[in-house]
A and B are shown apart, each in its own frame.
Chain A
Amino acid sequence: VSFPTIEFAAFFVVVFTLSWALMPHPRAWRPFILVASYVFYGWVDWRWVLLLIASSLVNTVAAQVIARTPSQQTRKRALIAAIAFDLGLLCVFKYLGFFVTEMDDALSSVGLGSPLPLVQIVLPIGISFFTFQAITYVVDVYRGDTRAASLGDVAILQAFFPHLVAGPIVRANELLPQLRTPRDPREVLAGPGLFLIAGGLVKKTVVADELARNVVDPVFNDPGAHSGLEVMLAIYGFAAQIYCDFSGYTDMAIGLALLLGFVLPQNFNRPYLAVSLQDFWRRWHMTLSRWLRDYLYIPLGGNRKGRRRTYANLMLTMLLGGLWHGAAWTFLIWGGIHGAALSAERWARERWQGFRMPTWAAWLITFHVVCLAWVFFRSPDLSTAFGMLGQVFAGGPSPLVTFPMVFLTLAAIAVQAVPTRFWERGEAWLVTRPVAAQGVALGLLIVAADAAVGQEGVAPFIYFQF
């Protein structure tokens, strides 16, 4: 179930009420929230729930073995087995089709016929998120960063519905302690919770879907038919769209969790204000970037094994980060651009240590490198991506460049410069209003958001496909 739907609204009212009613009774609350999360996940296809249960079961057993056995070799084997299982799930559901197709192409090109059947595998929604979360848990237990938990706790950690489908990717030591202590129903962080939900809804419906429908999709569908101005607006528009789409979803996820009494980690921190690629990755999809740093880049050696190895590690981490999004050359190039830019940035910093670029120039370069990478990320294939770039200087009429679309694009980027304290003041003001006033305001905002998307309804969130 997607958040901005009638089904989810009804589901959440029931879950919110029962969750707070059962909160003082952990033995009842835990199975309740687990079943609720499974209902949420299995709404479209209940078989996916079995996959989730299998993942929780395998990772719980592995973590228990790691925690209980004194033998380092057994601990290591259990860790490897769990990671192999988790990555195996990803490989089968996400990469097998791509691998078979590429293999088939390669074999055909050398005249070896077509021995492999091409099969279409249904990608369980959120699989990339819950498998990464599972890896985090077993590795943290192995490292001693978190205690091994019961099957019930691990299952809730993985399946807790606000973060299940598209993150944030939560670490065990961020959520498990909260699950073990009943939340206080007298002090629900409603200010930020309601604000995040309302803000996320507006980002998705008013900005992301509007930009997608009116500029981004038409231009990326047929770059050759559009002027350079339209292509540029589509590129900047997609930067705004994907930010509002993805951060809108995680804002809602964090807001819903807050209303249930749980704090999830922040996932975005005004990413388009970044003045370097390193800065960007500290602000964009923060829970994925810290995952890549802590579970890939640092284990690969990070920056501890010399300059060349550091660049290689950066590149490998970002390439795998690209592949995490999907098995396609476009994602690989997206990761490659980020890896190369991060390496180049590091090299330049070491080469010209005393030099400080003006902030505006650093921002401009960073933003455009990010936008260049987005062209590959958004394009369905490489020819479209190069078609977009080749069309940037083309002339011709630009009927898609309209004031509302330019305004939405600029607003989505510029609003990130609004200081955090401004939003916090708004949250504090909101919670002091009468309940009826808050409810009416939120209700009218929902009506406006629905009017913005029109009869076609809210488009699926971009990150649902990952």
Chain B
Amino acid sequence: MPPRFRKDLAMPAGRVLGVIVIALLVATLFNSEAIVRAGESMERGPTRDVVLSIARPLDDVAGAVGLHLPREGLDLAFGQEDKTAEGTELEEGSTAILRPNRRKRDQQSFVQPTPDDPVEVFVTGDSQAEFIGQLLTDALPDDLFDVEIAARNSTGLTNPEFFNWEINAQQEIAAREPDAVIMVIGGNDGFNVLVGDQLYGWQDPEWLTEYARRAAVVMRALGAGERPVYWVPPPTARDEEQNGIYEAQNRAVEDAAAAVPGARYVDIFNTINDGEYSDELTIDGDRVLARQPDGIHFTREGAEVPVRLILRAMARDYEPLRGAAP
């Protein structure tokens, strides 16, 4: 029924304001951790600064007096796993992980799919993983490959206070035990990173080394070596500054993939349209609108292009795909 005026349902505006303010205070205190995470996920700018400058001290106080407990109980009840933690290797660790690995030089081989035992492919990463995963599902032979997709929107490697990919990778791999992983990530990176006590921006060489180290940590957490991990970086974007970030981080990922056994770097940045951004691409002679209005994400139709490059990379590990990838 449309709301109609009834005196017994009304309250003065001042009391309503009291209800709203108390509700928001209660929500802020009990949810302080989530608010810090939400702040961490925001784009850099004044809103993010304000949210974090209020939420961080509040979170410290709330944590000290045990106000995190009800929320933790609710997370448990809803089956939510924590995706952040302190002291993980992703945030702090040795660059030794980037040293060339002898096993990397050996020809690695993986169990080949059969109709009785298809290969379980796990497609994950940021929002770009969604359409790529869907198109990959269509492109891979149904009887030989099963695809699962779990896109984690707005995530990256340079913001572990919001979403820690090392933890998430460990949780996902333990739960799904895939035979191969496609990791589509990088579109939300470019945040400054802390190395020791020093902050570095994406134009600093230290940032590149740190990004490569983090990529290598996640590749390992995804089980590279036991299974192939195909790392798919972002493609060229419409925005030139964004392309600068992508170019830098892609070099870092390439270095990481060269050091981690089982990791394969699928270059969709330099290869699609020769690294030139375009809203449209030609697939099998047909022009398609390949990019979404944001100038970063592929459309469903456009995702066909990176999927073909992924198939080509997979064909090196999986015999039945050889000759199938266009």
When distances are taken between beta carbons in the complex, the residues of chain A under 8 Å from B3 are 189, 192-193, 196, 254, 258, 263, 266
With A and B bound together, what is the CA distance between A335 and B74 in angstroms? 41
Contact between chains at B288 and A118 (CB < 8 Å): yes
Contact (Cβ within 8 A) B10 A120? no
Asked if A438 lies at the interface with its beta carbon under 8 angstroms from chain B, I say yes
Chain B residues, Cβ within 8 Å of A118 = 279-280, 287-289
A361 close to chain B: CB less than 8 A: no
Alpha-carbon separation in the docked complex, A266 to B26 (Å): 30
B221 to chain A, nearest CB (A): 17
Other-chain residue from B71, B77, B137, B289 in contact with A225 (beta carbon distance below 8 A): B137
Interface residues of B in 1-48 (CB under 8 A from A): 1-27, 30-31, 34-35, 37-39, 41, 47
Contacts A118-B287, A444-B30; is A451 near B12 (CB within 8 Å)? no
Whether the pair B8, A221 counts as a contact (CB closer than 8 A) is no
Cα–Cα distance between A431 and B12 once the two chains are bound (Å): 10
Alpha-carbon distance between A457 and B37 when the two chains are bound, in angstroms: 10
CA distance A225 to B122 in the complex (A): 14
Are B20 and A439 in touch, CB under 8 angstroms?
A: yes
Q: Given A187-B10, A221-B137, A436-B22, are A454 and B78 also a contact pair (CB < 8 Å)?
A: yes
Are the C-beta atoms of B5 and A221 separated by less than 8 Å?
no
B22 and A443 contact, CB distance less than 8 A: yes
- Could you say which of B7, B17, B287 contacts A114, with CB atoms under 8 Å apart? B287
- For A, the interface residue count at a CB cutoff of 8 angstroms equals 73
Does residue B265 face the partner (Cβ distance < 8 Å to A)? no
Cα separation A97 to B308 with both chains bound (whole Å):
25
Q: Quick check: is B198 within 8 A (CB to CB) of the other chain? A: no
Are B30 and A447 neighbours in the complex by a CB distance under 8 Å?
yes
* Contact residue among A114, A222, A450 (Cβ-Cβ distance under 8 Å from B34): A450
CB pair A447–B9 under 8 Å, yes or no, is no
Q: Is B289's CB under 8 angstroms from A187's CB?
A: no
Interface string of A429-457 (1 = CB under 8 A from B): 00110011011111110111011101111
Which residues from chain B contact A104 at a C-beta distance below 8 Å? 287
- B229 located at the interface, meaning its Cβ lies under 8 Å from any Cβ of chain A in the complex: no
Q: Provide the residues of chain A in CB contact with B47, threshold 8 Å.
A: 7
Q: In the complex, are the beta carbons of B80 and A455 less than 8 A apart?
A: yes
A16 touches B5 (CB 8 A): no
A364 and B71 CA atoms in complex are apart in Å by: 41
Q: Which residues of B contact A117 (CB under 8 A)?
A: 280
**Contact A428 B23, beta carbon cutoff 8 Å:** no
Q: Is A20 an interface residue (CB 8 A)?
A: yes
**What chain A residues lie within 8 Å of B74 (beta carbons)?**
447-448, 451
Query: Quick one: given A118-B287, A185-B12, A428-B9, are A263 and B22 in contact (CB under 8 Å)?
Result: no
Bound-state CA distance A269–B13 (Å) is: 28
Q: Are B9 and A443 in contact, with the CB atoms below 8 A?
A: no
A447:B70 contact, CB within 8 angstroms: yes
Tell me whether A17 and B9 are in contact (CB under 8 A). Answer: no
B226 at the A interface (CB under 8 A) = no
Residues of chain A contacted by B147 (CB below 8 angstroms): 222, 225
Tell me the A residues contacting B by CB distance below 8 Å: 5-7, 9, 12-13, 16-17, 20, 97, 101, 104-105, 108, 114, 117-123, 185-194, 196, 218, 221-222, 224-225, 254, 258-259, 261, 263, 265-266, 269, 380-381, 420, 424, 427-428, 431-432, 435-436, 438-444, 446-448, 450-452, 454-457
Chain B residues near A (Cβ < 8 Å): 1-27, 30-31, 34-35, 37-39, 41, 47, 51, 70-71, 74-75, 77-78, 80, 83-84, 133-134, 137-138, 142, 146-149, 152-154, 162-163, 279-280, 286-289, 291-293, 295, 300
In the complex, the 3 A-B pairs of residues with the closest C-beta atoms, listed nearest first: A439-B22, A443-B26, A191-B9
Can you show 19 pairs from A to B with CB atoms below 8 A apart? A13-B17, A104-B287, A120-B289, A185-B14, A186-B12, A189-B5, A190-B9, A192-B9, A222-B134, A225-B142, A266-B2, A436-B22, A439-B23, A440-B22, A440-B23, A442-B23, A450-B31, A456-B153, A457-B41
